[in-house]
Chains A and B, each alone.
Chain A
Amino acid sequence: MPITDAFTGTDGTAIETYSANWALVRSSLADDFEINTNGLILGGTAEKDLMAKRTESGIPDAHYAQVVISAIALNKYMGPAVRCQAADSNEGYGFEGDTTQCLLFEVNTTTWTQLGSAGTAFSATQVIKLDANGTTLTPTKNGVTTGTPGAQTDATYATGAPGVCGWCDVSGVGTRLDDFECTSAPGGILRQMMAHHGG
């Protein structure tokens, strides 16, 4: 069974407060991902680029992250991320879009390297997925990869965790993710329950 998160909440709670299963990978800015309107949004009012990852142990290095676009707005990019590195490292791969385009990128510290020309815009209800298997990254929209950014070989990060990413010019209001899903550790839920109960 995959790990899932419906981002249930309406009060603007920061993602790492909402659940200890999330940690910020890019947290040098004052703003944060927030849970609102029963989805995940880019909180605050300043320009920001953010990345957050799942904290469960044992998620394999070959993993995927997937989200559903609930709402989408110009210059408010959001999407799934994979091979996210240590908390506060600002490193990993992301696939995010707005109403004009979508981008696949590798990020290290504060620099984003674009992997391929931009693809078509994201739209509401689309299922956006980024898969990392070996050195191959595969971004899909509703299960399909067409044109760029398409499947891409990149060897920079061999390990890491699945997560989410986002970037906006000013206020992030307007784009919202829902129904996060990613690969779980072998033994998944049972393993987590045993760890919780000291098993």
Chain B
Amino acid sequence: MAIRWYVMPMETVTVNGKTIKRPEFLTTIAPTARWGWMPVKDGWGIGWVDLTTGQNTTYSASAGVLLMTANLATNLTSGAVTQLQTRLNARELPSSWVSTSVTWRNAIKRVLCYVMCLQRYWGEQRQSLNVGVPKTTLVSSLGQGVQDKLAVVSSTLNVPAFQAGDTIESMMQRWADTLMTRPIFIGGTEL
């Protein structure tokens, strides 16, 4: 068994009449495996799973799953840079910082910081921030209601307010810079 970090697709199931969202595939591949994640309402999450080599092979090959690393201390390879940037761009999240000089620990933590921003926005607006909205969009061009919610997000996360000329990307980068200085816990594991 080994803990590896993944981009994890989400499934919605009904158990005893209760609708539950959880990582997809794991109940089939490894029903008793330990895992932790930070989920996003759009149907995915970032987290770790403790799997055997064989289980990891099956899980990594499942639709939507991206194996990132088993060793947080190593740097991203050039192939991993491309893969991670592709995933981030598809989600309209900042990606220009991804490079082979970044460790997996810092890469995963920064993505988790973005996830925290998405979670907090959803908690205020009950809808996602960046679905269908390019990250190059000026914050000042968003509706006043959205800007008001973003102000609440920055206040409640205790991160810098957005500034004139900010795009969604530059705002999230600045927020992530602050959040990176704080501990993040995923299933009891601290990053």
Contact of A135 among B16, B37, B116, B189 (CB under 8 A): B116
**B17 contacts the other chain (Cβ, under 8 Å)?**
yes
Judging by beta carbons under 8 Å apart, are A145 and B188 in contact?
yes
Residue from A111, A117, A136, A151 having most chain B Cβ neighbours under 10 A: A117
Chain B residues within CB distance 8 Å of chain A: 12, 16-22, 33-39, 112, 116-117, 119-120, 122-123, 126, 156-157, 182-190
**Nearest A-chain residue to B115, judged by Cβ:** A155
Chain A residues within CB distance 8 Å of chain B: 47, 49, 75, 105-106, 108, 110-117, 134-136, 145-159, 167-169
Residue from A136, A152, A167 having most chain B Cβ neighbours under 10 A: A152
Cα separation A156 to B22 with both chains bound (whole Å): 16
Judging by beta carbons under 8 Å apart, are A111 and B185 in contact?
no
Contact of B119 among A116, A154, A159 (CB under 8 A): A154
| Cβ contacts under 8 Å, A105 to chain B | 20
Cα separation A135 to B16 with both chains bound (whole Å): 30
Contact of B185 among A75, A114, A153 (CB under 8 A): A153
Can you identify 29 A-B contacts, CB atoms within 8 angstroms?
Answer: A49-B18, A75-B16, A111-B12, A112-B18, A113-B20, A113-B21, A115-B37, A116-B35, A116-B188, A117-B33, A117-B34, A117-B187, A148-B36, A148-B188, A149-B36, A149-B188, A150-B36, A151-B190, A153-B183, A154-B119, A155-B116, A155-B117, A156-B119, A156-B122, A158-B123, A159-B156, A167-B16, A168-B16, A169-B17
| Cβ contacts under 8 Å, B36 to chain A | 115-117, 148-150, 152
Residue from B17, B117, B126, B189 having most chain A Cβ neighbours under 10 A: B17
Judging by beta carbons under 8 Å apart, are A47 and B120 in contact?
no
Cα separation A24 to B157 with both chains bound (whole Å): 27
Contact of B123 among A49, A151, A157 (CB under 8 A): A157
- Count: A-B pairs, CB below 8 Å: 100
| Cβ contacts under 8 Å, A111 to chain B | 12, 19-21
Q: How far is the CB of A104 from chain B (nearest CB, A)?
A: 9
Contact of A153 among B21, B35, B123, B184 (CB under 8 A): B184
Cα separation A157 to B120 with both chains bound (whole Å): 7
Q: How far is the CB of B122 from chain A (nearest CB, A)?
A: 6
Q: How far is the CB of A92 from chain B (nearest CB, A)?
A: 11
| Contacts beyond the supplied A47-B18, A155-B116, A158-B123: 5 A-B pairs with Cβ under 8 Å | A149-B36, A149-B187, A153-B184, A153-B186, A158-B156
| Cβ contacts under 8 Å, A155 to chain B | 116-117, 119-120, 123, 157
| Cβ contacts under 8 Å, A156 to chain B | 119-120, 122-123
Cα separation A91 to B21 with both chains bound (whole Å): 14
Given contacts A148-B188, A155-B157, contact A47 B34 (CB under 8 A): no
| Cβ contacts under 8 Å, A136 to chain B | 183, 185
Residue from A113, A149, A152, A155 having most chain B Cβ neighbours under 10 A: A155
Judging by beta carbons under 8 Å apart, are A152 and B39 in contact?
no
| Cβ contacts under 8 Å, A153 to chain B | 38, 112, 116, 183-186
* Nearest 7 Cβ contacts at the A-B interface: A150-B188, A158-B156, A151-B185, A116-B187, A155-B120, A155-B116, A155-B119
Q: How far is the CB of B67 from chain A (nearest CB, A)?
A: 18
Cα separation A155 to B17 with both chains bound (whole Å): 27
Cα separation A110 to B20 with both chains bound (whole Å): 9
**Nearest A-chain residue to B156, judged by Cβ:** A158
Cα separation A171 to B82 with both chains bound (whole Å): 53
**Nearest A-chain residue to B38, judged by Cβ:** A153
**Nearest A-chain residue to B121, judged by Cβ:** A155
Cα separation A159 to B152 with both chains bound (whole Å): 12
Contact of B19 among A106, A110, A135, A157 (CB under 8 A): A110
